Amino acid sequence: MITAHTAEAVREAEEPLLAAGVPLMERASFALSTAIARELRAREQPVSGARVLLLVGGGNNGGDALHAGAYLARRGCAVRAALLAPEARVHPAGLSAARRAGVQVEQVAGEDGLVSLAASHPVWVDGLTGIGASGGLRSPLAEAVEALTDRAAELRRVGSPPLIVAVDVPSGIGVDDGSLPGPVLPADLTVTMGAVKAGLVLPPAAPLAGRIEVVDLGLELGEAEAMSLEEGDAAARWPVPGTADHKYTRGVLGVAAGSATYPGAAVLTVAGALATGPGMVRYLGAPSVSAAVLGAYPEVVAGSGRVQAWVLGPGVDPDDEIRLEELAEYRDAAAEAGVPVIFDAGGLSLLHEREVKAEGPTVITPHAGELAALLTARGNDVARAEVDAAPAAHARRAAQLTGAVVLLKGSATVIAAPDGPRYVQAEATGWLATAGAGDVLAGVLGTLATAAQSTAEAGHRRVTARELADVAALAVFVHGRAARRAAGLPPHALPAAAGGPAGHPLRAGDVAAALPAVIGELLG
């Protein structure tokens, strides 16, 4: 499990160690230098002789960069430090260590000189700002970062991109919320000290952190600000049927999806559900849509009956009052029975009224535009661009207003419970941004919700919001992995923009078809 924390939580955890005289900066900077050397070797570049440029601001991150530069210089690197803060504000011990090790130190005043220096150094170490910074970068750092970002893009286009290593966080990101209040120098590798900072995993900043390495400083930290499931977590959480199970103990999912205009949404929702392993799927909808579903999947049962979770709304027109009345009936029946409900697409409009809150275990699955519409309908005037700029904060706000777990879809998907954990999962590929992919995800989530409900029923209790948040994160994880497989990508690879494989286009149905093999690999 990746756990990410606020800057304040990290500073509080550091205080007793610093008071005890533990040399945290020495440990951090040595680990930073080791990570840089390891990255060079991984790229089949020699460490000795490597030309390294330290981008040094005031504060401790600049000190980490200078100490790491001293270690690298002793290993034979040609290290230069560009001071972008007055020398009086630069970490004195780090500056002294760098000079003793033979690091060339110079004050840089303008962007032209900085870009010229950067062009002659294939490795850049970003120690401009740290976790104490708030708001966007100010002049002259903002202009310097913009110039360096432009130069890095130019070098990438001609096939000689620099290796950019961020110290703790890429300079300029919202450390606690993942916001982008101004220019940011994107990193290939972020070496973060003591714990992952929340801004490294939360969108929209998360992709700018590159690969993340954590330097273990022995910090004692409390509850995380955000979490991400990894392979082992997903495998441990996946519901595997036993020999004594039958279709009802495995879970029955009710699906009310699709319309004459969007019959494919019902088919894709059912496809995602069946590929994930329910005991049974019941479909309720118009006869023409039901015929399409049964034609594709004859194992589906058309008609009412026992249900342990519902998926309501994929492919439903929010202006179709008759269909919405039917969905409201299913919602009310679910609330009375205490079973989970997943609201997607048109079903989200059932939560638009200000006074309406989830009456039972509920997950809503909006994209940014749908979340903006929901928040606006409930008296919070929000535009889609505002949700895109701060998705984690808006997901949490929606969870508090509705009482539901919010699964906010995006390149990095945020899951927020009203009073519990906040997950962020970024396994997917850009190829997943295609019609119907959300329908498949709704089906996956529905099946996992039935399994959670079956477990709860066995213990004579109700599914909790925290459990549903965990289930939602699991659904997003495996859905993203299936998208990667469908796009011809390995489970772990750099993004195409950072030199990784590009993959190929996919259809939503390809994602559903890839799910069983992905789940099998996960459990294997």
Dihedral (Cα; 356, 346, 414, 445), 10-degree rounding: 100
Identify the residue whose tokens are 């900043």.
205
Tell whether 395 is in a known binding site.
Answer: no
Upper half-sphere CA count for residue 63 (Cβ side, 13 Å): 17
Tell whether 64 is in a known binding site.
Answer: yes
Tell whether 96 is in a known binding site.
Answer: no
The residue type of 462 is R
Beta bridge partners of 302: 283
Structure token digits, residue 438: 């959300």
Tell whether 62 is in a known binding site.
Answer: yes
Q: Could you give the CA distance from residue 123 to residue 145 in angstroms, rounded to a whole number?
A: 15
Q: Could you give the CA distance from residue 273 to residue 253 in angstroms, rounded to a whole number?
A: 8
Tell whether 410 is in a known binding site.
Answer: yes
Tell whether 265 is in a known binding site.
Answer: yes
Tell whether 36 is in a known binding site.
Answer: no
Torsion sign, CA atoms 212, 216, 217, 223: positive
Tell whether 136 is in a known binding site.
Answer: yes
Which phi and psi (to 5°) does residue 463 adopt?
-65, 135
Tell whether 409 is in a known binding site.
Answer: yes
Residues 404, 397 contacting (CB under 8 angstroms): no
Structure token digits, residue 110: 């303008």
Beta strand 309-312 with 280-283 is: unpaired
Task: Could you list the beta-strand ranges (E) of 307-381.
Answer: 309-312, 341-343, 362-364
Tell whether 60 is in a known binding site.
Answer: yes
Which phi and psi (to 5°) does residue 80 adopt?
-130, 140
Query: How are strands ordered across the β-sheet holding 2-5?
Result: 196-197, 2-5, 226-228, 422-425, 413-416, 405-408, 362-364, 341-343, 309-312, 252-256, 280-283, 301-302
Tell whether 446 is in a known binding site.
Answer: no
Tell whether 132 is in a known binding site.
Answer: yes
Tell whether 134 is in a known binding site.
Answer: yes
* Helix (H) or strand (E) segment spanning residue 409: none
Tell whether 349 is in a known binding site.
Answer: no
SS (H, E, C) 458-517: HCCCCCCHHHHHHHHHHHHHHHHHHHHHHCCCCCCCCCHHHCCCCCCCCCHHHHHHHHHH
Torsion sign, CA atoms 150, 152, 155, 157: negative
* Helix (H) or strand (E) segment spanning residue 278: none
Which residues fall within 8 angstroms of residue 321, CB to CB, at 6 or more apart?
A: none
Tell whether 367 is in a known binding site.
Answer: yes
Tell whether 303 is in a known binding site.
Answer: no
Q: Could you give the CA distance from residue 453 to residue 457 in angstroms, rounded to a whole number?
A: 6
Tell whether 412 is in a known binding site.
Answer: yes
Tell whether 504 is in a known binding site.
Answer: no
Residues 481-500: b if buried by 16+ CB within 10 A, e if exposed: bbbbbbbebeeeeeeeeeee
Binding site membership for AMP: which residues? 409-413, 438
> Binding-site residues, please?
60-64, 126, 130-136, 168, 171, 265, 315, 367, 409-413, 438-439
Binding residues for K(+): 61, 126, 171
Binding residues for (6S)-NADPHX: 60-64, 130-136, 168, 265, 315, 367, 439
